[in-house]
Amino acid sequence: MNLAILGAGAWGTALAINLSARHQVTLWTKEAGHLSELMTNRANLSFFPDFPLSDAIYLTASLAEALENTDLVLIVVPVAGFGDILRSIAKINVKAPVIWGCKGFEPKAAKLPHQVVADVFSDNELTCGVISGPSFAEEVARGLPTALTLASENDDFSREMANQLHSKNLRIYTSRDMIGVETGGAIKNVITIAAGISDGMGYGHNARAALITRGLMEITRLGLALGGKMETFMGLAGVGDLLLTCTGDLSRNRRVGLLLAAGKSIGDILNELGHVAEGVHTAQAVLQLSRKLNVNMPITEAVCSILHDGMPARAAVETLLNREPKTEICL
């Protein structure tokens, strides 16, 4: 299968390395300077300097060239640039199906990726799906065992693509719940920042477990309100992804929380990271939606107060701890 992977960041590069063993892969980057680096070094020095890009991976900065004769388009750009990529694809009039791995809400209108797709394409114009789950890019590049969920409203498409992308070290499950898969992948980044703050303050494993559990409740509440399915939040794209990012040292969003706990400003943190931490940009959109839908999300509110209102991390955590007792299961 001819695959066009749009976005040569960490996730796009990892997928290119992994999938090029079984498919013909074209990896697209919009930056000419980045393309030169990739071609000169046959490695993505910004993300995976120790992982060579095989000769089977074709590199280009031309979107039209990347999409020519492709059988499947994988979009793995930050969610803020997702709409622009879709509009460019529409102008080129590509007929190939599209799968995206973007995690987050479109920042201006707080829309999930499938809603952005609906704005650009009519319902019957694009065969599409979303792929998500617990997956650090570095481990996918190394070929370590990983399981993901591929969701699409087109059952035949999701089954066919799962079979094509599946391998012994990349297991693909299918789902029809695009909303649930997208919501889980987006909000877990916000909860992960909170978990990183807790760890950075030395609050211990008990506090982290409580944050993960109550964070999953927030994800589920908003996800159900948006139309997602309960079973999705109990699966790979829900609790699975949340557990990984809240506990794994490779998580950029957890790193944001750790640095906030150390007293660093969010501007300095993002400069230090050098990579996108989607939770920072997603938090405000999640809070906006929760208020619109009257969904209680105190952890998200606390994260937003730190990121956007200047509240010290310790004060925000104390506010959370001092909330009045409630019934545990309350959806």
Domain 186-321 classified CATH 1.10.1040.10? yes
- Can you tell me the distance from the alpha carbon of 16 to that of 10, in angstroms, rounded to the nearest whole number? 10
Residue 41 has a pLDDT of: 94
User: How much is the mean pLDDT over the chain?
Assistant: 93
Q: Give the list of residues 6+ apart from residue 155 with CB closer than 8 angstroms, or none.
A: 174, 176
Give helix 252-261 / helix 178-200 axis angle, nearest 10°. 30
pLDDT tens digit string along 8-19?
A: 999 999 999 999
**Domain 2-176 annotated CATH 3.40.50.720:** yes
* Nearest CA-CA partner of 101 in 136, 71, 67: 136
pLDDT, tens digit, 9 for 90 and up, residues 119-129: 999 766 889 99
Q: Which residues are part of the catalytic machinery? A: 188
pLDDT at 177: 98
Span of 236-245, 271-280, 321-330 with lowest mean pLDDT:
321-330
Query: Residue 211: which H helix or E strand, with range?
Result: helix 204-226
For the chain, residues classed under CATH 1.10.1040.10 are: 186-321
Supply the pLDDT for residue 123: 62
Report the distance separating Cα 182 and Cα 92, nearest Å. Answer: 26
The confidence score (pLDDT) of residue 290 equals 96
Mean pLDDT over 144-155 rounds to: 97
How far apart CA 119 and CA 113 sit, in angstroms, is 10
Q: In degrees to the nearest 10, what's the CA dihedral of 47, 75, 105, 128?
A: -150
pLDDT digits (tens, 9 = 90+) for 89-101: 999 988 899 999 9
Question: Which residue ranges does the chain devote to CATH 3.40.50.720?
Answer: 2-176
What's the pLDDT at 109?
84
State yes or no: pLDDT of 330 exceeds 70: no
Strands (E), the chain: 2-6, 24-28, 43-44, 48-52, 57-60, 72-75, 98-100, 128-132, 146-151, 170-175
pLDDT digits (tens, 9 = 90+) for 74-88: 999 999 899 999 999
**Is residue 276 predicted with pLDDT exceeding 80?**
no
